[in-house]
Amino acid sequence: MTTSGNALSLLQKIMYALGNFAQGVGPAIVIGWLQYFYTKSETTIDGNVIVEGTAFLTYSAFGFIAGGARLLEAISNPFYGYISDRTKSRWGRRKPFVMFLSPVLAVSFMAVWFPLSPHPHIMNGIWLAVMLGLFWLSYAGVVGPYLSLLPEITPYQDERIKLSEIMGYFEVAGMLVATIVAGSVIDSFSDGINLGFVKIADGYKFLALVVGIMTLICFWLSIRYITETPHSTKKEVPFNFIDAIKHTFKNRLFPPYVASVAFFRIGIDSVIISMPYMIVKILGKKEDLAGIMQGAVIVFSLILFPFVSRLSTRYGKKLIYNLGLLGFTIGLPLFYFTNSTPFFGNVIIGILSLFNISFENVVFARQIAHLIVILIIISFPISTAFVLPRAIFADVVDNDEKETGYRREAMYNGMEGIISKSAAALVPVITTQLFSIFGATSNRPLGILLVGPVAGLLVFFGFLSFLKYPLKD
């Protein structure tokens, strides 16, 4: 592969990377807020579940429905990949999926925020199962082909890293909307909003309508200015479905790569899901602060993007990505100490007291300072997770072409999807079970506090896996 060169104009890079905004914003809102939206009024006292106000489902019901929907997405990924690799059309192999499934994705995203009953009811469970399943199914059908375009639209190593960096910026922008902006909108429009003759009941629904429309526009623009390479013998993939899977795992680069991505995903999703509970149930603050804290780690990570990109170019992607995995392994368990022993916060507040700086609520000040330090610690690991996987993935696909003679980007995206999304499907199940068993209230917060250590242990397995990745550059 040629190391340096340019195959894309700046406009093409920006427009293609815009799809990563849509790829990030919807799922981040679903992962970060949907569980809280459906279960926020559920309280566990002495082992008894008590539902108050506007809870739509119990913890367990939501956890298994959400996990099942993610599992459905995971299973669908290789099928989409197999079909996309074998698609022939005047638009190419990938663009038709993005064009025609994006509307389904946008509508189903909006629909999940409109449960049928204002109280826990079986119809809410059925509605959520259908609409969330449809959301994740269409998401897999759009995002897999979209990401499969990257290795094809530029063959240059440096340009791939740069394009991955730009994509990372847009994904971060999407996550900022899903965190800081979402938290503010949810809190500001908690009593609803009138749009002409239409009454939107709450901030969650208003946010869903706006983001759904943005998702559709961004995905359509992402394919507007790029052109797939002409059809060739490299695209005449002869393998049947089973053989395609076998050849994917014969690629020695793929197993350590996909394992690391899967465990990294578990760690990131765990942080996002647990933050509203951490802020509201433990610190006793509103959702807007939860959004700010979710967004803070994204901002900290964003600042490090150029640093990660330069380090990877100089020292190799393997080393920097593994440092990210190891840092995440160390940082996640620190969330456990937020409630009763926030040692980072104790140190910071102690230092500030030497300068006669005091706080009215010292307990809260120590807890929030502790959280901010943790978010700074995990910002480098999350930055590597944004910048490097797509560039590493391109190397995996190039290696497959050397071994098989064919370009099979979508199949690799599909197999990555079934593994990483199956891992992600465990997160709502793990968190809701931790909450149900150990508690998720101000009086019984252990379930919330245990999310970090459990996620850190799982990320450590990803670190061990990527140690076996054979390439260094």
Which CA distances in Å does 360 have to 187, 200, 349, 363, 364? 24, 38, 12, 9, 9
More confident call, 107 vs 429: 107
Domain contains 473: no
Domain contains 408: yes
pLDDT tens track for 26-50? 998 998 889 888 887 544 434 444 4
Query: Would you say 257 and 466 are in contact if contact means Cβ atoms under 8 Å apart?
Result: yes
266: nearest Cα among 215, 177, 180, 328:
328
Q: Which of 21-25, 146-150, 250-254, 325-329 has the lowest mean pLDDT?
A: 146-150
pLDDT at 51: 40
Domain contains 172: yes
SS3 (DSSP) at 199:
strand
pLDDT at 49: 45
Q: Residue 441 — φ and ψ, nearest 5°?
A: -125, 175
pLDDT tens track for 157-179? 778 778 888 887 898 888 888 88
Q: How much is the average pLDDT of 241-266?
A: 89
pLDDT at 101: 95
pLDDT at 118: 78
What is the rounded distance in angstroms from the CA atom of residue 164 to the CA atom of residue 185?
30
pLDDT at 43: 42
pLDDT at 150: 80
Show the domain range for 340.
Answer: 10-466
Output the domain CATH number for residue 447: 1.20.1250.20
pLDDT at 46: 40
Look up residue 253 and give its two tokens. Answer: 């680069």
What is the rounded distance in angstroms from the CA atom of residue 102 to the CA atom of residue 97?
8
pLDDT over 80 at 244, yes or no:
no
pLDDT over 50 at 8, yes or no:
yes
Structure pTM? 0.74
Domain contains 269: yes
Alpha carbon 407 to its chain's center: 26
More confident call, 197 vs 13: 13
pLDDT over 80 at 94, yes or no:
yes
Kindly write down the DSSP assignment for every residue of 267-291, as one continuous string. Answer: HHHHHHHHHHHIIIIIS---HHHHH
pLDDT at 50: 40
Three-class SS of 310-332:
HHHHHHCHHHHHHHHHHHHHHHH
Query: Would you say 80 and 18 are in contact if contact means Cβ atoms under 8 Å apart?
Result: no
Domain contains 254: yes
Domain contains 451: yes
Q: How much is the average pLDDT of 292-320?
A: 88
Q: How much is the average pLDDT of 100-107?
A: 96
Domain contains 438: yes
pLDDT at 229: 67
Domain contains 5: no
Q: How much is the average pLDDT of 72-91?
A: 83
pLDDT at 44: 40
Q: Residue 48 — φ and ψ, nearest 5°?
A: -100, 135
The share of the chain scoring above pLDDT 70, in percent, equals 93
* Overall domain count for the chain: 1
pLDDT at 368: 94
What is the rounded distance in angstroms from the CA atom of residue 424 to the CA atom of residue 239?
29
* Residue 6 banded pLDDT, cuts 50, 70, 90: low
More confident call, 41 vs 282: 282
35's CB contacts (< 8 A; 6+ apart) are 62, 63, 66, 273, 428, 431, 432
pLDDT over 90 at 135, yes or no:
yes
pLDDT at 166: 87
Mean pLDDT estimate for the chain = 86
pLDDT over 80 at 5, yes or no:
no
pLDDT over 60 at 73, yes or no:
yes
* Residue 188 banded pLDDT, cuts 50, 70, 90: confident
